[in-house]
Amino acid sequence: MKKLYGLMETLLQKKESFAVATIFDKTGSAPRTAGAKMVVRADGSTAGTIGGGRLEAEAINLAGEALRLKQTRLQSFDLTSRDVSGMDMICGGKGEILIDYIDAGDENNRVVYQAAAGILERREKAWLITILDSVPGAAGLARQQCLVKPDGTLTGKVDCDPYLLEKLISGPAKISIHAEGIGKQRFLVEPLRQGGTVYIFGAGHVSQRIADLSENVGFRTVVLDDRADYANRERFPEPVEVMLIDSFRKLPELEVDEDSYLVIVTRGHLYDKVVLEQVLRSGAGYIGMIGSRTKRDLTFEELLRQGFRKEELDRVYAPIGINIGAETPEELAVSIVGELIMVRARREQRKQKESSNSPESCCTILNPEK
């Protein structure tokens, strides 16, 4: 998502208009791909994906039309069972897709998307709000857009009650799309935040299942392995990132911080230990290692002899995953990604609690950014 918004900012700086296709739902039972975005340029090239298949092909055609007419529009869709299966959808594959014409000549667009790219780059949080109005006698929709930060700072100009915007951002900031009908206006509320990066060390069968699930719940997912037969696009389709490394014994430089989740599921105990000793002091928000308690204890004993402290080892989730009696690769993936979600949610709750205890957080007023 960060790369996609970075591209939008770059295109606007170059004075190039484009269209953005965004999937959302109008009934409250959203498809799993809700929130997926795709940028379509005037030459027909695209960035991002909304799931592929017939819906994506039709969205590209609609985006081309939106660029020619310079119009924003909403399009309902109702996919066949075959389409639904191919796109990993639920609820019958029904929903709506916003084809948003982004005019490079509109200064508000430049300001909003520059701010959005900056928010994601700095790993902050905000909400992108798009206000849609039907225009009598016109095929397209009138649109307004702004960005709202948790402290109430507003970037962009919209004709809307600030307290209504405050209400719209009061829900949970999950990676999803929420639409509300209020009068003749519709408000598309998109939480912007980095959901965290999951680094999966090892590209085996369990890793395949983990990568698919972690992407679907909002994590950027990177898979690393030293075997070309495993670390490849056939096994891990986009948007999962794949890194073919030289060896687990010397990991490449990775951007690891408190929003990083390290999942160690290599092809053997020795490699798991080699990875663990390199990442223990990385500052990652989560480190998990697959294996039995016996394996964990033997690994920890050896690391203690190497000079690591017990406090450092206590941070490791091992055996990895929530105890749900998982046995198959699919079940193990559910237990592991469930644990990642739990850790992320607890961190988010802790941050919110710290913010609410701040003297400045006694009230939230939306103020235009100077």
> What pLDDT is attached to residue 359?
46
> What pLDDT is attached to residue 113?
96
Residue 90's SS3 state is: coil
> What pLDDT is attached to residue 171?
57
Task: Determine which helix (DSSP H) or strand (DSSP E) holds 289, and give its type and residue range.
Answer: strand 286-289
Helices (H), the chain: 2-13, 53-69, 81-87, 107-121, 162-168, 205-216, 269-279, 293-305, 310-313, 329-356
Query: What token pair was written down for 262?
Result: 């390290």
Number of H helices, E strands in the chain: 10, 17
CATH dotted code for 197-349? 3.40.50.720
User: Amino acid identity of 269?
Assistant: H
> What pLDDT is attached to residue 92?
46
- Nearest to 206, CA basis, from 320, 313, 89, 317: 320
What tens-digit pLDDT sequence spans the chain (370 residues)? 778 899 999 999 999 999 999 887 644 333 445 677 899 999 999 998 887 778 889 999 999 999 999 999 988 887 654 444 444 443 445 778 899 999 999 999 999 999 999 988 776 788 899 988 876 666 678 999 999 988 888 999 988 777 777 777 775 444 444 445 555 678 888 888 767 899 999 999 999 999 999 987 878 899 999 999 999 999 998 778 899 999 999 999 898 988 899 999 999 999 999 999 999 999 999 999 999 999 999 999 999 999 999 999 999 999 999 999 999 999 999 999 999 999 998 887 776 566 455 444 332 223 334 3
User: Amino acid identity of 331?
Assistant: E
> How far apart are alpha carbons 185 and 106 in whole angstroms?
21
N-to-C CA span, the chain: 26
> What pLDDT is attached to residue 30?
37
Query: What token pair was written down for 2?
Result: 């960060």
Give domain limits for the chain.
2-192, 197-349
> What pLDDT is attached to residue 199?
97
Q: Check if the beta carbon of residue 55 is closer than 8 Å to that of residue 21.
A: no
> What pLDDT is attached to residue 137?
61
**What pTM, to 2 d.p., does this model score?**
0.59
Give the pairing of strands 141-148 and 220-225.
unpaired
Q: How many residues would you count in the chain?
A: 370
> How far apart are alpha carbons 362 and 217 in whole angstroms?
31
For residue 47, CA distances in Å to 58, 71, 72 come to 15, 20, 19
> What pLDDT is attached to residue 230?
96
The strands making up 125-134's β-sheet, listed across from edge to edge, are 178-182, 185-193, 125-134, 141-148, 153-155, 367-368
DSSP one-letter string for 45-80: -EEE-S-SHHHHHHHHHHHHHHHHHT-BEEEEEE--
> What pLDDT is attached to residue 120?
84
